Structure 1
Amino acid sequence: MLKLDRQWREFSLPYRSLSSVFPFFLAFDRQGKICSAGPSLVKFCSMLKLGSDFEKLFELVTPSIGFDFDRIMEQLFTTFFIRILDTEKLLRGQMLLRADDESELLLFLGAPVVREMSDITRWGLSLKDFAIHDSVIDLLLVLQAKNNTIRDIKRIHGLLEREVETRRKVERDLHELNEQLEQRVVERTLELKRSNQRLGQSLTLLEENNRELRVLNKMGEMLQGCASLEESLDVISYSLGRLLPHANGFLQLHADETIQPELSITWGGLSHQPVLQEIATDCQAIRTGEAVLYRSGGNLPCCHHLQGTPECDSVCIPLLANDSCFGRLSLQCFDRERNSDLGFQARLQLIYTAGEHISLALANLRLQENLRQQAVQDSLTGLYNRRYMNATLDREILRADREASTVGLVILDIDHFKRINDQHGHETGDRVLQCLGVFLKQRIRGDDVACRFGGEEFVLILPGVGLDDLVRRAESLCYEIAQGEFGVGVSELPALTVSMGVGLYPAHACAQDDLLICADAALYRAKSAGRNRVVCYRA
């Protein structure tokens, strides 16, 4: 409210806004007591105290009238000056009624009369004493350059409102930006969390793959150190049990000539006995020569050996060497640990890789065993060959020396074997040799060794036997062969007879070569005496 032209006029000038903008304000009551004052005015006039009399501190300069509340209310003051008593400092301002209680207080707003801005520092003031925020400084300079009119105050108020609105808009924008930033931080945090989870899963998968590779490499090293197929099967079952801890499986080998089971081993929850009795022709992998996958609930009919097993994924892998199948590897329930399709394919590829390693290792072992057998066995009769006979005879003689024992040696020769070849053919002669080899295997003891010496001659090594027992056993064999207790499937073939020479270490000789010479001399005497007999060496 402002009394202008002797009439009260209302302007939108809130008291709080003016007091915050103009720190040089002074409010007093009808008795002339100062009620409140701006902080800069208090700083400017150190004598000012609340409750002080206005007339003791200030005097009106324009117009030249004394302080009187009622007279002031009747005057038209748009701009006036007051002087701080005992100083030369002037204040310029306007008279306004306080909006909340116009009958008691009159608000004085103003500022020092500053001709030059340097005077501010001389009076101990700063720009902060003129305005609370920066935008009002320019307005204050306008007030100093012009008469303070209501239009100026309204203009200041409008600028302040726009300034406040601008600042509020900036604050709202900042708030929105903060919210957006917080949302982006939350989304980014969730994305980082998901990335960390994926990274953790990848790390776990990598560690599992490294473990599987270590097991595969260790299995390969162990298979290389195996000396027999039986030993290698134990290594395979142990390694696959570590590689696929939740899987059941078996591995089966069969002979080259047939597909009947030869060697077999199981692990996990499978029973060993049904696998040993399994007929391999039922397996699709063996018939096709390729790995066969049986998915649970699939349409492909399972092999016979999978019937009755729990409903789960299974795979059969043929073991191949030189394009021929010599066995199979079968695994069931191998995918329990990884339910995803990617995990299933990775596990399946691991099984295929293990099958290739196993197939190659077993093929090499089978080849090594065949080579060893060919090195010590006669391919026609299945008996040991002459090389193995020499090594065995040396070993048994050394043992006899340590244990003060004996070694018996029998050399036998088929009578008139050339006649059999000439009259019935070499094929019949080979069958005779084969049958005689089988016969000798069946008649010797576990410690005895039967060998083919060459052609139609055979050698029997009998450790720890006495001379009388040696002769008696040789005569029994000679008699059984002559009686025809074995045949070769040729009806026209006459009864076979053999001649035998017997020698004993150390009674007849003190070295391997000497013992062979003695037994061979006895054989020559048996042939000279009419064949089909046993002759013991005599010096």
Structure 2
Amino acid sequence: ALGAGLGILMLRRVRSLTTPLLLATERVQAGDLNVRVPVTGQDELSVIARHFNDMTASLQRTVQEQRALQRTLEARVDSLVEASTTELQVLSQLGLFMQACETQGEAAEVIARVAPALFPLGGSVSLLAESRNMLERFAAWGDAPGGGTWLPEECWASRLGTDHAAGPGLNAPRCRHDRSGLGTLCLTLNAQGETLGVVTLHFPDGPAAEQAQALARRFTDRLALSLANLRLKETLRHQSVRDPLTGLYNRRYFEETGGRELARAHRQGWPLSLLMLDVDHFKQFNDVHGHAVGDMVLRRLGHVLGRQFREEDVVCRYGGEEFMVMLPNCSPQAALERAEALRTATEALVLAAPDSSGLTVTVSVGVTTTTGDRSDLGVLVRQADQALYRAKAQGRNRVAAYRAE
């Protein structure tokens, strides 16, 4: 009976400790880590209960740390996504505005206004000059100096043909053109198989982060393509309005501009004069000395015309050996004086030809002026042509004014 009583007591004791442990285990399995088993003594079952409590507390801390880390990672991902979206928007905006630019001056202004959103500490864009031996500062923002020129060999990126980072914490030489003292990244501008220049970007301390370098390369690639397209656009526009032999405007530009100048003269009430000139005996230059000499005569005459007139005057090669000069706000007397000065300057030209010791060039000039009334450009050209015919009929190498019949 005593043995049976002791067995019953021991069974009750075991059950009082194992039943809460079993229930706690089930709750942990269900995901509740806040459960704890009561510890009532120092026996082996109490030790097991104490270890169980320590284990659940450790699991709870681990889960809390993992959740905190997950929240941090999610916030970081959201921040990166937001930053990436902003960068893409800025790059898209840069490409959009660069595509709409008509001149390089407009493009430089767009770069200086948009780039600080990506690289706030400053930077600059330098382009190779036509001689290919000098880099000219094209655009700058932030603390970067504007203007100035420097040699390609002063930049390690230009020498190596690849990106070059320098600054605190880097065992790399600093480019001689960079005097900022900050972390600097130089990247070459390459487009359509041609090097256009160098982009220099500044960063806070030491080298730029990998993400910033990737952004810098995307920025540089977008910029290089836009500048190459702008240069091609300017070349095509120049070819469409310029005469390739003399560098003067062509007939198409004269006809497009003439209407606007006539309308402006009518609106302002000022005179508009037109000079039409022709090289005397030009056919002889081609027949006797060859077309190369004839082309040289036209080039030299184009150079004289470019020096003789104001910036606002429109000087064009009208066709063949004929040239037109449109003089806004120029009276009839002033136009005659300008024409005579041109005739004298041309007469002073002495050209060397392979089969001659020296060739003299003369021109005949016809002058007409509208008094501010709404005249037709074709009428004005016919009047100048009639005046030119009179100058030739009077012996060439002279100036004649238009006279109404």
TM-score band, normalised by the shorter chain?
A: 0.7 to 0.9
In structure 2, C-alpha distance between the alignment counterparts of 1:429 and 1:286, rounded to whole Å: 44
- Any conservation in 1 of the 2:188–2:195 contact (CA below 8 Å)? no
Query: Which 4+ residue blocks in structure 1 deviate beyond 6 angstroms?
Result: 488-491
Q: 1:367 to 1:479 in 2, by over 3 A?
A: same
- Larger fraction in helix: 2
In structure 1, what residue type is equivalent to 2:53?
N
Give the deviation of 1:432 after TM superposition: 2.6
Work out which of the residue numbers 189, 193, 200 in structure 2 matches 1:323.
193
Distance of aligned partners of 1:230 and 1:508 in 2 relative to their CA distance in 1, 3 Å threshold: closer
Q: Match for 1:523 among 379, 388, 399?
A: 388
Relative distance call for 1:385 and 1:272 in structure 2 (3 A) is: same
Deviation readout 1:315-372 (Å, 9 max, x if unpaired) = 222242x312233222132x65xx8x9x822211111111111111111111111121
- Deviation, 1:243, is 0.8
Distance 1:259 1:423, change over 3 A: farther
Q: RMSD between aligned alpha carbons?
A: 2.8
Cα pair distance change 1:472/1:313, threshold 3 Å: closer
- Please give the per-residue CA displacement for 1:245-287, whole angstroms capped at 9, x wherever unaligned: 23x31112244454444661111212124xx221335445445
Quote the residue 2:358 is aligned against: 493
Provide the rounded CA distance (Å) in 2 between the counterparts of 1:315 and 1:262: 15
* Equivalent-residue separation in structure 2 for 1:451 and 1:255 (angstroms): 27
One-letter amino acid of the counterpart of residue 309, structure 1: S
Kept in 2, the 8 Å contact 1:508–1:537? The answer is no
Deviations 1:77-129 (A, max 9, x none): xxxxxxxxxxxxxxxxxxxxxxxxxxxxxxxxxxxxxxxxxxxxxxxxxxxxx
Match of 2:58 among 183, 194, 207: 183
Alignment of 1:384-399 (within 5 A): 384-399=249-264
* Number of equivalent positions: 376
Q: 3-state DSSP class of the match of 2:244?
A: coil
Q: Indicate if the aligned counterparts of 2:137 and 2:146 stay in contact, CA closer than 8 A.
A: no
| Corresponding residue number in structure 1 for 2:213 | 348
- CA deviations 1:31-76 (Å, max 9, x no partner) are xxxxxxxxxxxxxxxxxxxxxxxxxxxxxxxxxxxxxxxxxxxxxx
What SS is found at the alignment partner of 2:395? coil
TM normalised by structure 2 equals 0.83
Match of 2:300 among 431, 435, 446: 435
- Counting aligned pairs with the same residue, the percent is 32
The two structures have a TM-score, normalised by structure 1, of 0.64
Which position in structure 1 is the counterpart of 2:73? 198
Unaligned runs of 5+ in 1: 1-151
State whether structure 2 residue 344 is matched by structure 1 residue 479: yes
Paired position in structure 1 for 2:202:
332
The corresponding residue for 1:504 is 369
Report if the CA contact (8 A) 1:481-1:496 is conserved. Answer: yes
Query: 1:266 aligned to 2:140?
Result: yes
Cα pair distance change 1:509/1:360, threshold 3 Å: closer
CA distance in 2 between partners of 1:437 and 1:251 (Å): 35
Moved more, 514-523 or 421-430: 421-430
Inter-partner Cα distance in structure 2 for 1:508 and 1:206? 64
Residue of structure 1 aligned with 2:116, choices 241, 255, 262:
241
Counterpart contact for 2:125–2:139, Cα < 8 Å: yes
Which deviates more, 260-269 or 323-332? 260-269
Change (3 A) 1:488 1:241: farther
Q: CA deviation at 1:312?
A: 2.1
Deviation at 1:521, TM superposition (A): 1.6
Report the Cα offset of residue 158 of structure 1: 5.3
Amino acid at match of 1:303: C
Letter in 1 for 2:13: V
Task: Identify the structure with bigger relative contact order (alpha carbons < 8 Å, sequence gap 6+).
Answer: 2
Number of the residue aligned with 1:469:
334
Deviation for aligned residue 1:533: 0.6
Q: Which has the larger radius of gyration?
A: 1
Q: Distance in 2 between matches of 1:487 and 1:265?
A: 43
Distance in 1 (CA, whole Å) between partners of 2:166 and 2:194 is 26
Deviation at 1:244, TM superposition (A): 1.7
Give the equivalent residue in structure 2 for 1:6: none
Write the distance in 2 (CA, Å) between the matches of 1:331 and 1:416.
60
